[in-house]
């Protein structure tokens, strides 16, 4: 089975910071990866699909890159609304462990 | 507009069974790939399984922790997806979500399953 490792598990940042979250697969998964945002008590929402495509209505400060085994989610300028937990997901398989983005 | 509505959650004892439903509107489940995903209290997301569209043979895949205990199916006439859960364990306690696959553009609101004696 292919496993996904996400880092860091927690990230402290300030409004306006550039933030990067990494997700690694144990085998080549091409571009078959999505990123989700989840706020406490809420249903997760899609940010990025196919590793780099922005979901509907997702602000352009979010971007995804990578292919094969290494992927990144970048928030170019962190906003108050972005403090949440982020997950990567290999299609039809594992989620990453999650990255909680906290206020510094 | 696509809507997914889960139901069927509740409190059951270890070893018992439960069937979750996911009713779809704005989407024909027979033509869709669908995931089940769960989230234990205070924990991360865990993929449970996936069913491919009928045109892809309706292939079903499961995560290792639920294989041989859980069964995914769908009823075309009711446009509803099911998750039959047998031999439930305390570690199956979670909110269960149905969502589109391969990526979750659409999610249901979730239904809570609690397994406790």
Per-residue pLDDT of A52-77, as tens digits, reads 999 999 999 999 999 999 999 999 99
Question: Given this model, what pLDDT does residue B89 score?
Answer: 98
Distance of CA B26 to the CA centre of its chain: 18
How many CB atoms are closer than 10 A to CB B2?
12
Q: What would the pLDDT profile of B40-97 be if each residue is shown by its tens digit?
A: 999 999 999 999 999 999 999 999 999 999 999 999 999 999 999 999 999 999 999 9
Q: Looking at the complex, does the CB of residue A31 fall below 8 Å from at least one CB of chain B?
A: no
Report CB contact under 8 Å: A36, B105: no
Choose, out of A92, A94, A99, the residue to mutate when testing the contact with B (most B CBs < 10 Å): A92
Confidence of residue A18 (pLDDT cuts 50, 70, 90): very high
SS3 content of chain A, % helix, strand, coil (to 5): 5, 50, 45
* Residues with Cβ within 8 Å of residue B40, at least 6 apart in sequence: B46, B91, B93, B94
Question: Given this model, what pLDDT does residue A100 score?
Answer: 98
Q: What would the pLDDT profile of B78-90 be if each residue is shown by its tens digit?
A: 999 999 999 999 9
């Amino acid at each position: 089975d292919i496993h996904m490792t996400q880092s860091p598990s927690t990230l402290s940042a300030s409004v306006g910071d550039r933030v990067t979250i990494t997700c690694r697969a144990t085998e080549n998964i091409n571009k078959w990866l999505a990123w989700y945002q989840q706020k406490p008590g809420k249903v997760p929402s899609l940010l990025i699909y196919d590793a780099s495509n922005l979901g509907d209505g997702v602000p352009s400060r979010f971007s995804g890159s990578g292919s094969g085994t290494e992927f990144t989610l970048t928030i170019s300028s962190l906003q108050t609304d972005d403090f949440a937990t982020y997950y990567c997901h290999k299609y039809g398989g594992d989620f990453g462990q999650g990255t909680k983005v906290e206020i510094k | 507009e696509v809507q997914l509505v889960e139901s069927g959650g509740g409190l059951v004892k270890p070893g018992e069974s439960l069937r979750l439903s996911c009713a779809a509107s704005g989407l024909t489940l027979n033509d869709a790939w669908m995931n089940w995903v769960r989230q234990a209290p205070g924990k991360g997301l865990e993929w449970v399984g996936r069913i491919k569209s009928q045109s892809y043979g309706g292939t079903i895949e499961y995560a290792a922790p639920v294989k041989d205990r859980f069964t995914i199916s769908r009823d075309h006439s009711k446009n509803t997806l099911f998750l039959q859960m047998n031999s439930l364990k305390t570690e199956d306690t979670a909110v269960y979500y149905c969502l589109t696959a391969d990526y979750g553009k659409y999610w249901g609101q979730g239904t809570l399953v609690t397994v406790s004696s």
